[in-house]
Structure 1
Amino acid sequence: MASRLFFVALAVFCAPANAKSIADQIARIEAPQSPNRQGADPLTLQQILERFHVPGISIAVIYDFKVLWTKSYGVADVETRAPITADTLFQAASLSKPVAAMASLKATQIGKFGLDQDVNTILKSWKLPDSPFGSGAAVTPRMLMSHTSGTGDGFGFPGYEPGAPLPTQQQILDGKKPSALGPVRLVRPALTASQYSGGAAQIEQLALTDATGMPFATIMQDWVLAPIGMTHSSFEQPLPPDMQRYTARAHGPDGKSMGPRWRVYPEQAAAGLWTTAADYALFMIEVQKTLAGRSTTVLDRATMQNMVTPVGVGPYAVGFEIVQEGQGWYFKHNGANWGFRSFAMAHVAKGYGVVIMANGDGGLPAASEIVDRVAAAYGWDMLDKPMLR
């Protein structure tokens, strides 16, 4: 990436007295450091993006249950050289799943269905075929959202070119044209192993819409996005024309454009969210604040606890992967759509975290370096000896 294309947009959400210290912290994150995973020479943050051919990236840092600052680097589109701004929309890819899970938990909280209810008693327009493994646990929403349902589609969804025919949810689940993939079916008894499954998220999406009688994007807007204040986010697929002008372009592993600006994902719960790093940080903060007893905007504390409590088979809770890093417990997720990468991670109790959105296939290795730098700069307890102070 040529340096003349490099652009930075910064928003600091703090009192003026703190602006200088935040600027110093950002400068440390951007300074030359040795990316240990690659064993390379010390690199600046800009050089990290160039190394992984990432045209543009947006970062939001969470501190004390607030968005402390956001900063964007590079271009939204290598063809037009339009810079990334605070309003640039990225495909969140699989970061869609935890947001969709929050809506399903809202449905359980208001009595639309039970988290441990047989999903076939919720579904009306389609049924999950009977298990070929004989008797055993019935598939439930909790299993679908924690990757323990036994559905075996570990693949990601490839998306569809703009203007192409889009499959219905039933066609996606049955693998019927124009769906580009095979059917979503059980490949093992439920709750016997953990296997990541985008198809499971689509079963849960259909259960949610069947139970409420509402379109999925409407549910997400009314129940989650608007209440949290995610004003630059949408689950509409395809994205409405008035929002398309804010989108970043998808780019391949070489940092070049790949034809259409992006692909369309009718698999909304699994991969359909368009958002900004700052908006997604508000979602992560809502989880943290609710767990801390400081918000009931979407869920009550007891219901939210399901999002950070693993089901006992594998590392996933309802929506998030739960990990222990050093002395701290974190909830996290990453995402990979065609030409987009995303990552979000936050502490379960301490009110800090980071969200990263990138418009290139090299975004995840770049994000891993950024997470290390942010964690070190702010002394996260995932590090015994932070590299930066």
Structure 2
Amino acid sequence: MRTRLALGTAVTVLALAAAGPIAAAPSPPPPPEPQLSDRAVERAVARLPQFVEDAMRTTGVPGVSVAVVHDDKVLYAKGFGVRRVGQSGAVGPDTVFQIASVSKPVSSTVVAGTLKDPDEWDRRTELPGFALKDPWVTGHVSTADLFSHRSGLPDHAGDLLEDLGYDQRYILDRMRLEPLAPFRASYAYTNFGLTAAAEAVARARGTTWQKLSEDVLFKPAGMTRTSTEFAAFAAEPDRAATHVRNPDGTWSARYVRDPDAQAPAGGVSSTARDMARWVRLQLGDGVLDGKRIVPAAPLRRTHLPHIVSQAENAAGGTSFYGLGWNVSYDDRGRLRLSHTGAFDLGANTNVTMLPLERLGIVVLTNGAPVGVADAIAFDFFDTAEHGRPTTAWLPLFAELYAQADGADRPETDYSRPPADAKPAKAAGAYTGTYESPYYGRLTVTEAPGGGLVLSLGPKPLRFPLAHYDGDTFSYETAGENAVGRTGVVFGDGTVRIEYLDESGMGTFTRR
């Protein structure tokens, strides 16, 4: 869900609130000496198993895999629970999970691995079929602009097209229709902007994004069970199914999330053990097992602030976004890098690092976001810093995700028509074919048994319409960004779908 994916910024804010006041300036003071002793880290590692088990018991999340890296060593790598509810397969450190938006810092590592100079991040993004609404911005938008979400594209531009079944090519082409905020002066989290930049880098080298990722990062770093393609994940026998929570509190593997359209932004699958190797590389300035994998300077640039993501946050300071990373500094001047990943259809992940302390944690879960992945990471760092947790992290994150879920719901409860609802017109007043330059063709037909059916998308998807009031109907949304029932309002030769209209492009005209 769009709001839930944007919680990465909130996660950064909470981390900093726990660590102390945030430095307001993007340029941090000279870094201090490391503050965390080996004993402090060992104490936090010792607490992990019980905390993970308690969090799983409280929420019911079926499976978790965790890895901790400190001083270039993997101190901890363990799985908990099951890969799929109702089956016996246990989660281990080599179980493959979909990591959702934690793909972004992995992808920025791939791009950094193709560069010799950090200034190459500022190269213009050139990709056939991709343009922005303003020709000047199209001519100047760079890889760094798109990886830091400062291109001006709206929040989560293109995600609803993906839900409808459109492929990457179609979605990237439609970015030219999106309204733009001020270029390089506004932050909006955008999966398909980052995807366009990554695909452009691969194309410039005459290869695919998957092949580039393999050649530049996965193979050299020994990440043998990591991929950017859904087919590779689906073929893994030791893979974690995605789960959603049912109304009665149980969990079911009801959905399959294929994120190929946004592979660089959300399509990576990996294991805790593989991700620990990547964290070692990050903390090692691009070196792993004594071998230079990624050039240091281009990698360091991914760790710098590139845009203000929150001018004033809950801790009274400022939050930033780098190149695929949430970037912040604590009151001791220490750089903190983090990212959360969330699929509403069944995954939640977290990576958090303190480079000065050479300390990082990766948490992978196979349940829709209810706060488990973030709580494990935050409890770990809180314990390392203070000897014990200073906050009850799980209920805090559970409430954050619940609030985000509620914020996405429409203000109108379309499941309950008003008592004085006006009758609808005859079906023929609504049936027909409608067009949108952004969403494509929409058809409204009369079902054999009566009632109207709305069809939308390339397949297309079919949504039975329920009458609400007068010329207003509703249908139950589906997919990663589902919001429950949404309004469908018929006008004079038009139909407007409420939840598709965030950027003003949800009106279809009768053909």
Q: Which residue is 1:189 aligned to?
A: 182
Which runs of structure 2 are paired with 1:101-140 in the superposition (5 Å)?
101-109=108-116, 114-119=120-125, 122-123=126-127, 125-131=128-134, 138-140=140-142
Q: How far apart in 2 are the matches of 1:27 and 1:70?
A: 12
Which runs of structure 2 are paired with 1:18-57 in the superposition (5 Å)?
26-31=45-50, 44-57=51-64
Q: Which residue is 2:297 aligned to?
A: 302
Give CA deviations for 1:52-74 in whole Å, capped at 9, x if unaligned: 22111011011112221111111
Q: Aligned partner of 1:336: which letter?
A: A
Q: Which residue is 1:273 aligned to?
A: 268
Aligned residues: 337
Match for residue 318 of structure 1 among 320, 323, 340? 323
Deviation of residue 81 (structure 1)?
Answer: 3.2
Q: Which residue is 2:445 aligned to?
A: none
Q: How far apart in 1 are the matches of 2:162 and 2:130?
A: 25
Worse-matched range after superposition: 369-378 or 92-101: 369-378
Deviation of residue 30 (structure 1)?
Answer: 3.8
CA contact (8 A) 1:238 1:264 kept: no
Give CA deviations for 1:122-156 in whole Å, capped at 9, x if unaligned: 32x22313417x77982111111111111114268
CA contact (8 A) 2:147 2:323 kept: yes
Which runs of structure 2 are paired with 1:222-301 in the superposition (5 Å)?
222-239=215-232, 243-254=235-246, 255-290=250-285, 297-301=292-296
Q: Which residue is 1:174 aligned to?
A: 173
Q: Aligned partner of 2:339: which letter?
A: H
Deviation of residue 110 (structure 1)?
Answer: 7.8
Q: Aligned partner of 2:147: which letter?
A: M
Q: 1:86 to 1:30 in 2, by over 3 A?
A: closer
Q: How far apart in 1 are the matches of 2:166 and 2:214?
A: 22
Give CA deviations for 1:98-140 in whole Å, capped at 9, x if unaligned: 11112222333289x9321222xx32x22313417x7798211
Q: 1:157 to 1:233 in 2, by over 3 A?
A: farther
Give CA deviations for 1:210-235 in whole Å, capped at 9, x if unaligned: 21110111110110111111112111
How does the TM-score come out when normalised to structure 2? 0.59
Q: Which residue is 2:77 aligned to?
A: 70
Q: Aligned partner of 1:318: which letter?
A: L
Give secondary structure in 2 for the equivalent of 1:200: helix
Q: How far apart in 2 are the matches of 1:49 and 1:239?
A: 28
Q: How far apart in 2 are the matches of 1:354 and 1:184?
A: 40
Q: 1:84 to 1:148 in 2, by over 3 A?
A: same
Give CA deviations for 1:220-274 in whole Å, capped at 9, x if unaligned: 0110111111112111232266x43121111013452243454343311011101
CA contact (8 A) 1:345 1:355 kept: yes
CA contact (8 A) 1:249 1:257 kept: no
Q: How far apart in 1 are the matches of 2:104 and 2:264?
A: 6
Confirm whether residue 208 of structure 1 aligns to residue 235 of structure 2: no
Give secondary structure in 1 for the equivalent of 2:232: coil
How does the TM-score come out when normalised to structure 1? 0.76
Give secondary structure in 1 for the equivalent of 2:364: strand
Q: Which residue is 1:373 aligned to?
A: 379
Worse-matched range after superposition: 88-97 or 295-304: 295-304
Q: 1:350 to 1:232 in 2, by over 3 A?
A: same
Q: 1:386 to 1:135 in 2, by over 3 A?
A: same
Give secondary structure in 2 for the equivalent of 1:208: helix
Give secondary structure in 1 for the equivalent of 2:145: helix
Q: Which residue is 2:335 aligned to?
A: 329
Q: Which residue is 1:152 aligned to?
A: 154
CA contact (8 A) 2:40 2:384 kept: no
CA contact (8 A) 1:148 1:313 kept: no
Worse-matched range after superposition: 338-347 or 305-314: 305-314
CA-atom RMSD in angstroms: 3.3
Q: Which residue is 1:356 aligned to?
A: 363
Q: How far apart in 2 are the matches of 1:138 and 1:89?
A: 38
Q: Aligned partner of 1:230: which letter?
A: M
Q: Which residue is 2:417 aligned to?
A: none
Q: 1:62 to 1:206 in 2, by over 3 A?
A: same
Match for residue 98 of structure 1 among 91, 94, 105? 105
Q: How far apart in 1 are the matches of 2:361 and 2:177?
A: 33
Confirm whether residue 84 of structure 1 aligns to residue 91 of structure 2: yes
Give secondary structure in 1 for the equivalent of 2:252: coil
Where does the alignment leave 5 or more consecutive residues of structure 1 unmatched?
1-19, 32-43, 176-181, 380-384
Deviation of residue 340 (structure 1)?
Answer: 0.7
Q: Which residue is 2:32 aligned to?
A: none
Q: How far apart in 1 are the matches of 2:221 and 2:286?
A: 15
Q: How far apart in 2 are the matches of 1:240 and 1:28?
A: 31
* Higher share of residues assigned strand: 2
CA contact (8 A) 1:86 1:276 kept: yes
